[in-house]
Structure 1
Amino acid sequence: MARKRLQNKVAESRFALPVTAVYATLVWLAGGLTDNGMYIQFALFAASAFMMMILNNQNSLIRIYSRMVSCTFLVLTAMTAFLFEKYEPFAVQMCMTAFYLAFFSCYQNKNTRGRMFYAFLFIGLASIFFVQILFLVPVLWIIMAGKLMVFNPKMFWASVLGVVTPYWFLAGYCLLTGSHEELIRHFADIAIFNPMPLYALPDTKRLAALALILLLAFTGMIHYLRNSYGDKIRTRTIYETFIIMNLIIIAFVMVQPQHTDMLLPLLIVNTAPPAAHFIALTGTRLTNMAFCTITTAILALTAYNIWM
């Protein structure tokens, strides 16, 4: 019988998610949840965590009993305490998790136009807070065709309608309030491409968080590509989607680092499942040491970000 190491005991524990949820809440309290009235941000974070849990349950992302997907999401998001004062990153993160819930439910079913509409409706909502997310739409169409195998004219137009629907309401509001110029500037921002000079790069705490998330992302991606044979075809499709999206978002961060605050939550959504797969389904001495080291680094960086 294979020896269960610390990482396996944590990954398979029924107490892992409740303990992690309490930990994340304490981090938010230490980061100023009540003192600074960050209730909207916390509610968006909690909704994202709940949807990640549903995403894991509905799609059996890990082939053993484990809540590591939700736990990894919670600790990585709590680590980015420097984002707590902004609600936009957490709104975009929640929209991305809601998108995946609807998007993956369309797998190999070309008669799910309603679900595809709602999936891209959340992308449209996210673009109100971060218009550059629209760059991901063509990638998602390619995934629809190549991975989910549901691309046809009706599904395509359902996705287009989903993206533009929030703007029908927003445009009406802008016309009523006479603020249509703000809507024009909103879309004009998507055409702005100004590489950030070295002196204006993200600060130390953002670079440290980004580096740690990237380490987990590549660890999870490499592990999954080497061990995907043990999962069902549907599960492989979902993980391949996470990997593709992660690579695109990483390239986006490298090219336009001024958007780091908005892209970090998206990276976390796409990194949590592969990283959780690595933690839950490995059990060597080396991977156990890696788990302990990464956990310590996350806790230390979380404390540093709260202190700063």
Structure 2
Amino acid sequence: MRNRNLQNRITTGRLTLPVVILICITCWLLTGFVLSPSGNEPDTYILWQWFDESGFPQWGTQAISFALYAGIGYFLIEMNNAFGLIRMRASVQTSLYFLLVSVCPALHHFYPGNIAALSLLVSLYFLFKSYQESKPAAHLFHSFAFIGIGSIAFPQLTFFFPIWLIGAYNFQSLTLRSFCAALLGWSLPYWFLFAHAFFYGQMELFYAPFVELCSFRPIELTEQFEQGEIAMLIYLFIQFTVSSVHTIASGYQDKIRTRAYLNFMIFVCLLLFICIFLQPGHSSVLLSVLLPIISILMGHLYALTNNRAANAFFICSMISLILLFIFNVWMLL
């Protein structure tokens, strides 16, 4: 009986999130100051090269990255409270997200994935708010504006534009007016970028996102993926598969609105896995974008199941996370 209730006590406990935050801080201190990982490979994107050449100290980049991840964690709680994705006021999705980030030392530095993940999550929030709205133009404007903001840091985020339009169509919020608002929202950050580039005579800054968007890196799985990334992706795909099957099988218990939200997130996660496979050179950034969405699906699984099989899977998943962190730390030694 004790083992059978362990999952429920952890996922619904009030002390779970504070304990996870302490674990997260410990992991960051270990990987940041003791092991001093080398971080990501140099990026060819000119806007990110400008940041790398600014000489920002390592502790500063980690502090910025930690603040962005904290913002994502807070927003995950707000999304659940606003849309009832887990049918209860829970913070388990944030706890899972912090744990997933903690076991990946390569994600602890400030890089495009931090901005892209936060931008896409906020964009998803406004897209959900447009569900069956009589006047959805404002929500879609804000949603696509955040896609535009994220795409300046990671231009490939623009490929989510048609995916978000599919979501808006499924949410019955896509009209001619809302489509124009979405297009205007996406282009808004680029108007500011154009003004800056034109004023300072650096038009290559404005062209850079579009040049990067049209460049496709070769598919070289054996050379692009590191062993830690492969292990993490296998773990996440198992979690995604089990969580998706549970979400679809138990969908009759959710409201129609909630079911539409969860199905769209499953669709986005599947596309992200495909993008990681097709463009392994962007795996670290796409992994950061994937983690917040898959954390919601995992939280839906762990918070709403309470049987022997689910409890055993939860325990195995937590043990696997510990082993993943040990393996990633060992790879840094």
Which interval holds the TM-score relative to the shorter structure?
over 0.9
CA–CA distance in structure 1, aligned partners of residues 23 and 252 of structure 2: 34
Residue 99 of structure 2 is aligned to residue 79 of structure 1: no
CA–CA distance in structure 2, aligned partners of residues 55 and 151 of structure 1: 21
> What's the counterpart of residue 18 of structure 1?
18
Q: 1:287 aligns with which of 301, 304, 310?
A: 310
SS at match of 1:5: helix
> What's the counterpart of residue 42 of structure 2?
none
**TM, length-normalised to structure 2:** 0.87
Structure 1: where are the runs of 5+ without partners?
A: none
CA–CA distance in structure 2, aligned partners of residues 174 and 193 of structure 1: 25
Contact 1:12–1:65 at 8 Å: present in 2 too? no
Contact 2:246–2:301 at 8 Å: present in 1 too? yes
Contact 1:49–1:74 at 8 Å: present in 2 too? yes
Quote the offset at 1:120 in angstroms. 1.1
From the superposition, tell whether residues 194 and 32 of structure 1 become closer, same or farther in structure 2 (CA, over 3 Å).
Answer: closer
Q: RMSD over aligned Cα, in angstroms?
A: 1.9
> What's the counterpart of residue 108 of structure 1?
132
Contact 2:105–2:328 at 8 Å: present in 1 too? yes
Quote the offset at 1:19 in angstroms. 1.7
2:324 corresponds to which letter in structure 1?
L
Contact 1:69–1:276 at 8 Å: present in 2 too? yes
> What's the counterpart of residue 6 of structure 2?
6
Q: Trace 1:58-69 onto structure 2 (pairs within 5 A).
A: 58-69=82-93
Deviations 1:34-75 (A, max 9, x none): 973311111111111111110111111112453221111221
> What's the counterpart of residue 40 of structure 1?
64
Question: Size of the alignment, in residue pairs?
Answer: 306
From the superposition, tell whether residues 35 and 260 of structure 1 become closer, same or farther in structure 2 (CA, over 3 Å).
Answer: closer
Contact 2:80–2:90 at 8 Å: present in 1 too? no
Residue 282 of structure 2 is aligned to residue 259 of structure 1: yes
Q: Trace 1:1-308 onto structure 2 (pairs within 5 A).
A: 4-32=4-32, 36-37=59-60, 38-146=62-170, 148-307=171-330, 308=332
CA–CA distance in structure 1, aligned partners of residues 144 and 28 of structure 2: 30
Deviations 1:5-35 (A, max 9, x none): 2111111212222222222222222232797
Relative to structure 2, which stretch is displaced further, 239-248 or 31-40? 31-40
Structure 2: where are the runs of 5+ without partners?
A: 34-56
Contact 1:127–1:133 at 8 Å: present in 2 too? yes
Contact 1:253–1:259 at 8 Å: present in 2 too? yes
From the superposition, tell whether residues 64 and 182 of structure 1 become closer, same or farther in structure 2 (CA, over 3 Å).
Answer: closer
1:7 corresponds to which letter in structure 2?
Q
Quote the offset at 1:99 in angstroms. 1.1
CA–CA distance in structure 2, aligned partners of residues 48 and 28 of structure 1: 17
Quote the offset at 1:199 in angstroms. 4.2
Calculate percent identity across the aligned residue pairs.
27
Relative to structure 2, which stretch is displaced further, 175-184 or 213-222? 175-184
CA–CA distance in structure 1, aligned partners of residues 214 and 316 of structure 2: 41
From the superposition, tell whether residues 215 and 157 of structure 1 become closer, same or farther in structure 2 (CA, over 3 Å).
Answer: same
CA–CA distance in structure 2, aligned partners of residues 164 and 276 of structure 1: 34
Quote the offset at 1:272 in angstroms. 0.9
